[in-house]
């Protein structure tokens, strides 16, 4: 399965190299050195203040390019053989590959970005190491993610460029999966959609530990069940996204990620049917209110053949069944 582009790495690499460190006290010249030697050293040594000013400018340029979805401008700030490594150990190597990764990422629903620099250390004249956090906020400001990173910057031909960026796991940043899934808690309950002689019934509930949402669905046509399946929705700590796994009653399976855009969710699924044919689809779920939602399906492919889109369908929450009075036994 193709995974989502390395969001934290793609963003963090440039932002990591583009921010300034806290001001440090200037080291006084050694009084024992001759004045001429001290003067020469001052002329030859790079100015840390100028370097920090340059990195600040790169930060502003990166944020502007990212928000304008300009992959080429972002990639231009990387060294030709730069690399990015995500939490799973996946590597994007080289400026061209980095540009391609950004371009693919920009096809997905996006976050606004910010960076929090925790440390910036200059090692010699032409090397800087930075640690910090990348802050990603959804466009509706309902979701904020944080990724830690370490980035290495080099000066080549008089320019500061990003040579390496790596996501870093920090156990203190752990957030229980349930907190991430609370965004989808409105799904819990029973839902039904009716059209002609068909009925699709869907239900969602929390698992025992409330770290997964469990779904079941059945499709009935003319009173006969023609399709059924189950779904499990959880938080993927490696990709830092909500992930879904689906299993149909015939033996097919699929998986994908949920991407939020306000009250709308895009679910990109890839899977295999029981007859060994690969397929993919993008589902669009929209929450209208607590009792109504809609969904539609686009970009459907099965066995290499494109299928027609499914137009928007309205799904309503099923009213709870009335409680039956207890049966009293006769004497």
Query: What residues are paired with 111 via a beta bridge?
Result: 138
Residue pair 191/201 in contact by the 8 Å Cβ criterion: yes
Contact (Cβ atoms closer than 8 angstroms) between residue 266 and residue 282: yes
Q: Pairing mode, if any, of strands 198-206 and 213-221? A: antiparallel
Secondary element (H or E) of residue 104: helix 95-105
Give per-residue pLDDT as tens, 83-111.
Answer: 989 877 889 999 999 999 989 888 876 67
Q: Which sign does the torsion angle of CA 163, 169, 174, 176 carry?
A: positive
More confident residue, 119 or 38: 119
Which tokens go with 25? Answer: 């006290």
Rounded Cα distance, 289 and 215, in Å: 20
For tokens 């870093």, name the residue: 168
* pLDDT greater than 80 at residue 35: no
- Are 182 and 234 a contacting pair, CB within 8 Å? no
Q: For residue 279, give both structure tokens.
A: 């397929």
**Residue 42: per-residue pLDDT:** 45
Share of the chain above pLDDT 90, in %: 47
Angstrom CA distances, 35 to 30, 123, 125, 243, 272, stand at: 10, 25, 22, 65, 75
What are the structure tokens assigned to 142, written together? 């309902």
**pLDDT tens by residue, 243-302:** 999 999 999 999 999 988 778 899 999 999 999 999 999 999 999 999 999 999 999 999
Q: State the average pLDDT for the chain.
A: 81
- Lowest average pLDDT, out of 62-66, 81-85, 251-255, 309-313, goes to 62-66
Distance CA 269, CA 274 (A): 16
Average pLDDT of the residues in 204-233: 94
Domains of the chain: 7-173 (3.10.450.50), 178-317 (2.40.128.20)
Helix (H, G, I), strand (E, B), or coil: what is residue 54?
A: helix
Range name among 15-29, 157-171, 291-305 with the lowest pLDDT average: 15-29
Query: What torsion do the CA atoms of 100, 103, 104, 107 make, to the nearest 10 degrees?
Result: -170
pTM for the model stands at 0.55
- Kindly state the tokens that stand for 226: 């023609």
| Inter-residue contact 117 to 18 (CB < 8 Å) | no
Mean pLDDT of 217-243: 90
pLDDT of 18 over the 80 cut: no
For residue 11, give the nearest of 129, 116, 156, 94 by alpha carbon: 116
CB crowding 19-39: b at 16 or more within 10 Å, else e: bbbeeeeeeeeeeeeeeeeee
């Amino acid at each position: 399965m193709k995974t989502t582009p390395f969001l934290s790495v793609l963003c963090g690499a440039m932002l990591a190299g583009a921010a300034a460190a806290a001001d440090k006290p200037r080291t006084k010249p050694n009084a024992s050195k001759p004045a001429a030697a001290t003067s020469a050293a001052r002329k030859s040594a790079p100015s840390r203040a100028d370097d920090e000013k340059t990195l600040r400018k790169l930060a502003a340029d990166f944020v502007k390019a990212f928000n304008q979805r300009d992959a080429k401008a972002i990639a231009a700030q990387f060294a030709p053989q730069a690399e990015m490594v995500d939490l799973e150990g996946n590597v994007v190597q080289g400026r061209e590959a980095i540009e391609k990764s950004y371009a693919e990422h920009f096809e997905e629903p996006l976050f606004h970005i910010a960076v929090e620099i925790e440390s910036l250390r200059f090692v010699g004249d032409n090397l800087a190491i930075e640690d910090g956090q990348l802050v990603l906020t959804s466009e509706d400001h309902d979701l904020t993610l944080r990724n830690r990173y370490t980035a290495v910057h080099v000066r080549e031909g008089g320019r500061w460029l990003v040579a390496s960026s790596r996501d870093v796991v920090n156990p203190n940043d752990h957030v229980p999966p349930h907190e991430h899934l609370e965004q989808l808690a409105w799904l819990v309950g029973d839902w039904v959609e009716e059209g002609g002689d068909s009925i699709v019934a869907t239900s969602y509930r929390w698992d025992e530990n409330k770290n997964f949402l469990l779904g079941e669905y059945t499709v009935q046509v003319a009173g006969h069940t023609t399709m059924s399946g189950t779904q499990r929705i959880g938080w993927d700590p490696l990709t830092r996204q909500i992930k879904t796994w689906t299993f149909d009653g015939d033996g097919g399976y699929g998986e994908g990620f949920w991407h939020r855009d306000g009250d709308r969710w895009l679910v990109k699924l890839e899977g295999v049917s029981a007859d060994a044919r690969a397929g993919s689809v993008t589902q669009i779920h929209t929450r209208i209110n607590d009792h109504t939602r809609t969904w539609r399906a686009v970009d459907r492919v099965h066995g290499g053949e494109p299928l027609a889109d499914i137009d928007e369908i309205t799904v309503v929450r099923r009213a709870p069944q009335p409680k039956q009075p207890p049966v009293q036994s006769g004497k």
